[in-house]
Amino acid sequence: MYKNYYVSVIIAAAGMSNRMGSKINKQFIAIGGKPILAHTIEKFERSKYVDEIILVAKEEEIEYCRKEIVKKYKFNKVANIIRGGKERQDSVYNGILALNEKSDMVLVHDGARPFVKLENIEDGIKGVEKYGACVIGVPVTDTIKVVGEDNVIGNTPRRDLLWAAQTPQCFFKEILIKGYEKAINDGFLGTDDSSLVERIGYNVKMIMGSYENIKITTPEDLILAESLIKEGDKVYNRREFLFQSR
Domain ranges of the chain: 2-218
The per-residue pLDDT for 151 is 94
The per-residue pLDDT for 188 is 97
The per-residue pLDDT for 218 is 85
The per-residue pLDDT for 205 is 98
The per-residue pLDDT for 237 is 39
Which sign, positive or negative, has the C-alpha torsion 143, 144, 148, 151?
positive
The per-residue pLDDT for 46 is 97
The per-residue pLDDT for 75 is 98
Beta-ladder partners of 110: 12
In order along the chain (246 residues), what is the average pLDDT of each group of 10 residues?
83 75 78 95 97 97 96 98 95 98 98 96 97 97 93 95 97 98 97 97 97 90 86 46 36
Confidence (pTM):
0.90
The per-residue pLDDT for 18 is 57
Q: Are 122 and 170 within 8 A, CB to CB? A: no
* 172, burial (CB in 10 Å: exposed 0-12, middle 13-18, buried 19+): buried
Neighbours of 70 (CB within 10 A): 20
Q: Are 173 and 125 within 8 A, CB to CB? A: no
Q: Are 25 and 58 within 8 A, CB to CB? A: yes
The per-residue pLDDT for 229 is 84
The per-residue pLDDT for 53 is 98
> CATH for 2-218?
3.90.550.10
Neighbours of 6 (CB within 10 A): 15
